[in-house]
Amino acid sequence: MNNNTPEIRFKGFTDAWEQRKFSYYLDFSVSNNTLSRAGLNYDEGEIKNIHYGDILVKFDSIIDISNPKVPFITGGKAEDYKNQLLQNGDIIIADTAEDETTGKAVEITGISDNYVVSGLHTMVARPNEAFARGYLGYYLNSQAYRNQLLPLMQGIKVLSLSKTNMAKTTIIFPKNKSEQTRIGTFFRTLDDAITLHKRKLDGLKELKKGYLQQMFPQAGESVPRARFDGFTEPWEERKLGEVVERVTRKNTKLESTLPLTISAQYGLIDQNEFFNKQVASKDVSNYFLVKKGEFAYNKSYSNGYPWGAIKRLDMYDVGVLSTLYIVFKPMEVESEFLVQYYETTNWHTQVSACAAEGARNHGLLNISPSDFFSTKLTMPKEKDEQIAIGKFFRNIDNQITTQQQKLTQLKQLKSAYLQKMFV
């Protein structure tokens, strides 16, 4: 191995890779437009448009423009953009982002008798020599290449890249087109596997969402629409404070120094793991001491969680939480049932009714503990039905977790190969 040879390589290829300035093989002769989202739609049109936000969030290294995620220009005509029309193999680069994803690139494929142009905050790099499909798309998103971009990014709150700086970077590639092809095909196969597992994960999440709607009574109803055999009694309405007990124990003896936060996806989780730093005070002796199996209500609203989130501590035996949280433990209700109940939106109406209208202090909903424990929930009278519901959803949750792990492993595998298969 030398400086122009990757760490991992397909058998049969031994030649050193070529190294040239970006501007030697790619130019910026094709311009972009500056259309905002308001000028785009996903239903119909003559010409498609690659928006920088989609590059950063939706698209992988390669994009087939027949993909329904690529929007049309509303009322756009090809003749109006004849000097901006893209061709297969063109590279579209997002020149602006709020973080170091600036410079994310996608390679265009799938153009036949259709039209596509490059949109707001993008740069078009057109190869003047044919590369194998996919090679440039993956190489330009590899860490090996992106390490060159990081010192070239300008700005504080928003980072940007210029064409001038991009042109100064170096690209390294195998001259042998067969090796380029093998690399591109390998990463496309990984991407296909990632897409498949992502689709399975989304399917499981939608399945759970549907069951949550069917297996918990809707507003004004006393029985769910779907129910296990053998259970016929109407559910009963109980105040939360009647079936749980508030926890107010303090960490005065420093039994734990593990600072927790609530994540909608991961539940109660170590702040250091979630934020990559500790946001809690150094002295946590006055924090609540929370034990495994106890619940906490984070009154902070976030996207998709307008009334905050309620989660159970599952991952650790003990941890500490700010006293801004409301902590409680199940007493007259099955714990797993309660976990799933708070995955529904049924409790939102009760909480919203006792929240002080318009009162939000630093993102916190103004809900007192007494009002919170006065909220009502509808639940089965029979513990066996609570247990059955909890087990049913726990099984789905386990499938979701397993699928998420598979997806994460594939993404990590791709990331590792991107580091080791490029120079």
Assign 356 a pLDDT band (cuts: 50, 70, 90): low
Token reading at 398: 């386990």
Which of 156, 173, 190 is the C-terminal boundary of a domain?
Answer: 173
Q: Answer yes or no: do 240 and 353 share one domain.
A: yes
Q: Answer yes or no: do 144 and 50 share one domain.
A: yes
Token reading at 31: 């311009």
Q: Answer yes or no: do 347 and 217 share one domain.
A: no
For residues 238 and 376, the answer to whether their CB atoms sit within 8 Å is: yes
Q: Answer yes or no: do 158 and 66 share one domain.
A: yes
Distance CA(423)–CA(419), nearest Å, equals 8
Q: Answer yes or no: do 255 and 375 share one domain.
A: yes
Read off the CATH number of the domain in which 273 is found.
3.90.220.20
Q: Answer yes or no: do 3 and 46 share one domain.
A: no
Q: Give residue-wise pLDDT tens across range 18-31.
A: 999 999 999 999 99
Say whether 150 sits in a helix, a strand or coil. Answer: helix
Distance CA(90)–CA(189), nearest Å, equals 21
Q: Answer yes or no: do 37 and 147 share one domain.
A: yes
**String of DSSP letters for 340-390:** HHTTSSTTHHHHHHHSPTT-EETTEE---HHHHHH-EEEE-SSHHHHHHHH
Domain extent at residue 2: 1-17+176-230+381-423
Percent of the chain with pLDDT over 90: 87
Task: Judge whether residue 57 has pLDDT over 50.
Answer: yes
pTM of the model: 0.87
Domain count, the chain: 3
Task: Judge whether residue 60 has pLDDT over 90.
Answer: yes
Q: Answer yes or no: do 169 and 22 share one domain.
A: yes
Q: Answer yes or no: do 246 and 357 share one domain.
A: yes
Read off the CATH number of the domain in which 194 is found.
1.10.287.1120
Give me the mean pLDDT over the 342-351 stretch.
94
Q: Answer yes or no: do 26 and 169 share one domain.
A: yes
Which of 155, 173, 191 is the C-terminal boundary of a domain?
Answer: 173
Q: Answer yes or no: do 259 and 358 share one domain.
A: yes
Task: Judge whether residue 93 has pLDDT over 60.
Answer: yes
Residues across the chain: 423
Q: Answer yes or no: do 78 and 169 share one domain.
A: yes
Q: Give residue-wise pLDDT tens across range 277-287.
A: 888 888 999 99
Residue 231: C-alpha distances to residues 223, 228, 344, 359, 386 (Å): 10, 6, 21, 42, 11
Give me the mean pLDDT over the 300-308 stretch.
84
